[in-house]
């Protein structure tokens, strides 16, 4: 087991309080970490922190890069402290909503500030500053391709890269050299933003360490088709001679549904094995520069995966193929050591997946919203969580606990109260937090929404929908001492 008994709170960066329309790496994040420190919480869990795009509904799981940071997370006050912005540059601050993110308004405000900061850097930067950017560029081999990809995407906003002219789509060396020269300033801008993000993130991670808080990051198994990842490393994916996918990811039909076609390109696992899984090792190295623990989304895909022909819209046309299994994780352990992974294993019964998790000591996930509270021995009831699992009250993809409980049939509510031994007058969200914290799960996790007792209006994401997701934000004054003290008491009772 790679974990000590511990607890965590999930809150994505976008949801943090702050003055600039979206949670970022500034004062609001530091206040949140102080709240976690006061509550004695061991971990802060987040979604992927890469850039998001409006065409993908701002989903952090459909990012144009698995390596880059989100420019919208850069703290403008930090740019003032660095000397790249003046206080006057921040004014006027729009009247942003405080309970949700208006992504278009945030981009309209923040992106010009980032460009102004870059122009000041170009004019004023010292030799040490320029050397620091050069060192960052040297240390992060993904950066050059990412910056060029974003420059080319900006120049052709109507196209995904698979629609670019063949020389750029297939990465002809002469075409790439010409593009780097043509878009040199935009490439430098993108590199500057990533350098700035990286510095601010590392400063924030140091604050977390001072508060005794580790960061749990997230690794989507698949990357977006329209990403620097696929364009820059086509050999890592199953693409045709024109660098277009031959098959895409999804899940097969089950009883009562027609399956799902996700559309992400699939990995060429045979090629990756031949290269010693270099692409994945680079991805994990970058992740562990930014986080202490990683949740592996859709862990089943490392064992076997559903491959749908790229020219078919019907998930039923797919077939199961073998993933890399233990070979990948043996390579990871050999190269990186015993990486602390959490496996997202929900919704699938696959003995080979369970065996792989057990072999490498990866805990799986249990979410009580999937429980039948009146059924004896149900695995999603916290009383039945074993040490080899991570227990959640809710996740970023489920309703909040209060929203779930409000819709729960009366008989199930009664069984829940009996099951966890709670008083009917006790708020159900604290009853489930107590139950998860009191279980044998190696890691107990709740969401900030559940700590605050919020209903479905605060749901973070509803899978299968594009509108209204990834928007919820917490008010600054909601992070109060009473909640921190109550969580501290629970942790003292069950965890510490």
Please tell me which residue in 344, 345, 434, 450 is annotated as part of the active site: 344
Instruction: Judge whether 397 counts as a catalytic residue.
Output: yes
Instruction: Judge whether 88 counts as a catalytic residue.
Output: no
Q: Is 436 exposed, middle or buried (0-12, 13-18, 19+ CB in 10 A)?
A: buried
| 8 Å CB contact between 9 and 445 | yes
For β-strands 247-251 and 214-219, DSSP reports them as: unpaired
Instruction: Judge whether 58 counts as a catalytic residue.
Output: no
Please tell me which residue in 172, 335, 397, 462 is annotated as part of the active site: 397
Please tell me which residue in 119, 297, 335, 354 is annotated as part of the active site: 297
- Which positions are annotated as active-site residues? 297, 344, 397
């Amino acid at each position: 087991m790679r974990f000590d008994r511990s607890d965590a709170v999930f809150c994505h960066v976008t949801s943090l309080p702050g003055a600039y329309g979206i949670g970022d790496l500034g004062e609001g994040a530091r206040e949140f970490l102080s709240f976690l420190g006061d509550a004695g919480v061991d971990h802060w869990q987040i979604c992927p922190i890469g850039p998001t795009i409006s065409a993908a509904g701002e989903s952090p799981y459909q990012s144009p890069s698995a390596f880059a940071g989100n420019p919208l997370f850069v703290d403008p006050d930090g740019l003032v402290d660095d000397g790249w912005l003046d206080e006057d540059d921040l004014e006027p601050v729009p009247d942003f909503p405080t309970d949700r993110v208006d992504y278009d308004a945030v981009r309209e405000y923040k992106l010009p500030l980032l460009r102004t900061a870059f122009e000041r850097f170009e004019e004023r930067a010292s030799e040490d500053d320029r050397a620091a950017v050069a060192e960052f560029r040297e240390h992060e081999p993904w950066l050059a391709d990412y910056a060029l990809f974003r420059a080319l995407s900006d120049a052709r906003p109507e196209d995904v890269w698979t629609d670019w002219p063949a020389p750029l789509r297939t990465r002809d060396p002469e075409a790439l050299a010409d593009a780097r020269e043509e878009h040199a300033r935009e490439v430098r801008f993108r590199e500057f933003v990533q350098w700035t993000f990286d510095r601010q993130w590392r400063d924030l991670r140091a604050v977390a360490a001072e508060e005794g808080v580790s960061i749990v990051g997230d690794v989507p198994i698949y990357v977006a088709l329209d990403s620097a990842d696929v364009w820059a490393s086509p050999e890592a994916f199953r693409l045709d001679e024109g660098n277009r996918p031959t098959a895409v990811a999804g899940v097969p039909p089950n009883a009562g549904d027609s399956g799902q076609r996700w559309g992400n390109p699939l990995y060429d696992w045979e090629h990756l094995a031949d290269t010693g899984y270099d692409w994945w090792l680079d991805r994990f190295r970058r992740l562990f520069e930014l986080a202490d623990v990683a949740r592996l989304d859709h862990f089943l895909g490392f064992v076997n995966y559903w491959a749908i022909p790229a020219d078919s819209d019907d998930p039923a046309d797919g077939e199961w193929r073998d993933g890399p299994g233990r070979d990948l994780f043996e390579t990871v352990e050999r190269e990186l050591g015993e990486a602390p992974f959490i496996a997202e294993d929900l919704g699938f019964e696959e003995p080979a997946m369970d065996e792989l998790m057990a072999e490498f000591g990866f805990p799986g996930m249990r979410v009580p919203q999937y429980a039948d509270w009146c059924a004896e021995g149900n695995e999603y009831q916290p009383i039945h969580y074993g040490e080899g699992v991570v227990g959640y009250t809710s996740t970023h993809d489920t309703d909040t606990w209060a929203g779930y409980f409000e819709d729960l049939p009366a008989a199930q509510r009664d069984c829940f109260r009996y099951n966890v031994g709670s008083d009917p007058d006790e708020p159900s969200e604290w009853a489930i937090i107590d139950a998860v914290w009191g279980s044998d799960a190696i890691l107990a996790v709740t969401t900030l929404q559940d700590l605050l007792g919020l209903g479905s209006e605060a749901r973070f994401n509803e899978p299968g929908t594009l509108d209204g997701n990834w928007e919820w934000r917490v008010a600054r004054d909601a992070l109060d001492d009473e909640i921190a003290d109550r969580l501290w008491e629970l942790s003292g009772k069950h965890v510490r």
